[in-house]
Chains A and B, each alone.
Chain A
Amino acid sequence: MPLFFPQEDASDVRRRYKPDVIKGDMDSIRREVLEFYASLGTEIVDKSHDQDTTDLHKCVTYIRDSASGLDKSNLCVLVVGALGGRFDQEMGNLNVICRFSSMRIVLLSNDSLIHLLPRTYCHEIHIQTSVEGPHCGLIPIGTPSKSSTTTGLQWDLNNTAMEFGGLVSTSNIVKEEKVTVQSDCDLLWTISIKKL
């Protein structure tokens, strides 16, 4: 975080960007980092005994079940750091957004954002053209889709079947400010983030 504010004192930046909660296995956090944030009042939730779920899974569960003082009626979880790195971990993180399909969870990297489009809804995606696009994709992750239909893309789908091993909509282009998607299965929507 201090690297984004090179003109400022690093300690000031760290105090300003203090997490409310640190949660997980605690096998990666450095001791001095843990002590620094604990001394500032960050809640440390140690789940080192639960080896069956990923850190992302634990944190999403925490947000859904425990986080007090948070209005959860219209919640959206923004996640940075879930992509890149070890591929098995990236897949595990994609699986978390598939498993918590009733929650809005957005995975973000420098290059892309990803979120689930549950099959139980028709979707309207309002494209913020100043910050995202034009490259996009619709990914039938985990299940073949017999029928998906879109509007607003360069290569729209029209009751089109998609599956890994066959057609997967990637390197598509957003053409309009509103994209609509309807599908018989959960799809991952992904769009490129502009480098400004």
Chain B
Amino acid sequence: MSSQRSTSSNKITDDKLNALILRLQTLLPQLDQSRHGRVSAAKVLNEICSYIRRLQNEVDGLSGRLSQCLDSMDLTGFDAEIVRDLLQQ
């Protein structure tokens, strides 16, 4: 495999790489092993990257909504205390 020709410091063996890729696969709901069996490392990495990007975009969207929400609210000190305590329960 290509990892043997790599000149970088990644002296990782193929077995180790595959083990780690399998672990990553468990993180991806859409590539659940029970349904897909073996998936290529490249595909898993691809899905991982897409998934991270998607999560980051989701947080972006949520940030927008939340900032709008907060701007339109008038949180007095009292309200803020209450909300914080309730979030902690």
Note whether A and B form a binding pair: no
